[in-house]
Amino acid sequence: MSSVSSPLRSRLPEAVTIVEVGPRDGLQNEQEIVPTDVKVEFIERLGAAGLKVVEATSFVNPKWVPQLADAAEVLDKLDRKPGVRYPVLVPNERGLDGALKAGVDEIAIFASATESFSTRNLNRTRDEAFEMFRPVVERAIGSDLRVRGYMSMVLGDPWEGDVDPAEVARQGERLLELGCFELSLGDTIGVGTPGRVQELIEAFANADIGPSRLAVHFHDTYGQGLANVLAALESGITVVDASAGGLGGCPFAQSATGNLATEDLVWMLDGLGVVTGVDVHKVAETSAWICERVGKDIPGRVARALRA
């Protein structure tokens, strides 16, 4: 790892935790169903690369996300590595039932900062969605599960345009008050820029929610993913979501292209001397491997460069 001494480095955290979302957020948008054994190997490869949080799957209705219909089988076959967390996304109590049966110890719930996306993604208003989440979180915490919250469309919405940062903070505060230990702020369609990212984090600070309760989840639609991460780190964020190979998107927001590639993120952080514990070469190899399995070119630039 390089040793960097600069004004920029002095404004960044010593270490960053990367939440790998490729097996869930990355694969849920694929047109073809990925075989269960491939999913399991993908997750295990990511853990072997040093990633300590790998979001494994989602217990969602297979009618809406058929790509993840094998959630229980994936978790049953998975060789869970000590020291690695394997959270799963659950949309409702039925999903929680499946997650509990599979023996998970961490779940995530997924809300929207805007009414438009909430009605399209969850078929509920924001208020209705929170009423759906309440018993999920209560039961999960009662079963000693940790609950992470996702907030989508935090920097822009394809139907509503720009989103007021203060409104995002209000909606995010509701998720934290339900009992979420952490809130991941998602720029679902990738329209954010560094200044707007810092403005959003400041809005949370004004609501007495510091960066230690927040994470960021950026899509790279307009090529702003890494710049936005850097802006978030300067504002005190230490948890960043990313997807191996840059796979992903959102099946309910067609303007949402791929996630920020994990290997691109690690390359930047390595160059800044920020500790991640992740082997960039192993992640890049895994990214190339999974892209071959799903039949697409590698979106992540570092994986392409290292392979060349």
Task: Give the residue numbers marked as catalytic.
Answer: 250
Q: 3-state secondary structure string, the chain?
A: CCCCCCCCHHHCCCECEEEECHHHHHHHHCCCCCCHHHHHHHHHHHHHCCCCEECCEECCCCCCCHHHCCHHHHHHHCCCCCCCECCEECCCHHHHHHHHHCCCCEEEEEEECCHHHHHHHCCCCHHHHHHHHHHHHHHHHHCCCEEEEEEECCCCECCCECCCHHHHHHHHHHHHHHCCCEEEEEECCCCCCHHHHHHHHHHHHHCCCCHHHEEEEEECCCCCHHHHHHHHHHCCCCEEEEEHHHCCCCCCCCCCCCECEHHHHHHHHHHHCCECCCCHHHHHHHHHHHHHHHCCCCCCHHHHHHHC
- The backbone torsions φ and ψ at residue 88, rounded to the nearest 5 degrees and listed phi first, read -130, 150
